[in-house]
Amino acid sequence: MAKWFALAALIATCLVVPAPAGQAAGADDNSLEAITQRLAAARIESVEVEKQDADKVLDLVRDAARVNIVVEADARKVLEAKTVTLKLKAVSALSVLQHVLRQVGLVTSYADEALVVTTPEAAQPHPQVTIYDIRDITLAPKGSRLPPALFGSQLDPLYYYWMRSHVMPVAGAGPFLDPFWEIELLDKYPPDHIGDVIARTFQQRFKDTGVQVSYYDGYLVVVEQPKAPRVPPLPPKPADTLPPQK
């Protein structure tokens, strides 16, 4: 019963910002771009759950953004075995979705006019596409230089988490280096220019990592080509099966 009250309180905090009048005709458009735009436009005032079923939070994202999110069978088993803890304020439904995926270790792909929640293994060898709302990255810290790992601030820490765990070590940098401090973007550029500079900087500095970063109309799009797992070499045969030495 307590979980249902928690879910009801969670849904009550959801605030969907209506799309501009000129975009109303595209409400039935289920392209990847349209789904992303609706996820980014749906603003959620507060999400505070502790050890909540991840699927219930996904339902909140679906209802807030009015998008199709399908969970594959293997990913469903993962969701049923894990819970999520979130404390977010004034973020997009896109951010909530990515926080959930990060905590349960799943990714998304796109098929049949829907976002498909799947496992990283099932997503191979297809590229994994992650889309970040540039406002969630730039809104809170601009001019204040807050630490990027403050979970629950308007700054989406997922971006830093992904960059530190995937890109920075591959590029030879330490896992705790904040690249924004190094290239000093936040105090110099407005959000749109920051997005362009981030994408350009990553393409130049991390071009050998197999990661592509581009910026389009308020969204930072990260495309990562997963590598197939290496097959371990076979162990040597036991000594008693080797031919006798001459």
**Per-residue pLDDT at 76:** 92
According to CATH, the topology of domain 1-19+26-123 is: Phage tail protein beta-alpha-beta fold (3.55.50)
Query: pLDDT band at 214, cuts 50/70/90?
Result: confident
- Residues 214 and 198: their CA atoms lie apart, in Å, by 8
Amino acid at 176: F
Q: How far apart are CA 220 and CA 206, in angstroms?
A: 16
Ramachandran category for residue 123: left, alpha or beta (phi over 0 → left; psi -120 to 50 → alpha): alpha
pTM of the full structure: 0.49
**Higher-confidence position of 225 and 84:** 84
pLDDT for the residue numbered 70: 92
Residue 152, pLDDT score? 36
Instruction: Calculate the alpha carbon distances from 176 to 117, 149, 156, 193 in Å.
Output: 29, 10, 16, 25
Q: Please list the residue range(s) of the chain that carry CATH number 3.55.50.30.
A: 1-19+26-123
Of 78, 94, 95, 108, give the one whose Cα is nearest residue 36: 94
Residue 11 confidence (pLDDT) above 70: no
pLDDT at 170 over 70: no
- Give the model's pLDDT for residue 125: 60
Q: How many CA atoms lie within 13 A of 53 on its CB side?
A: 12
Give me the pLDDT at residue 120, please: 82
> Is 93 a residue whose pLDDT tops 80?
yes
Read off the tokens for 131: 């889309």
Average of per-residue pLDDT values in the chain: 68
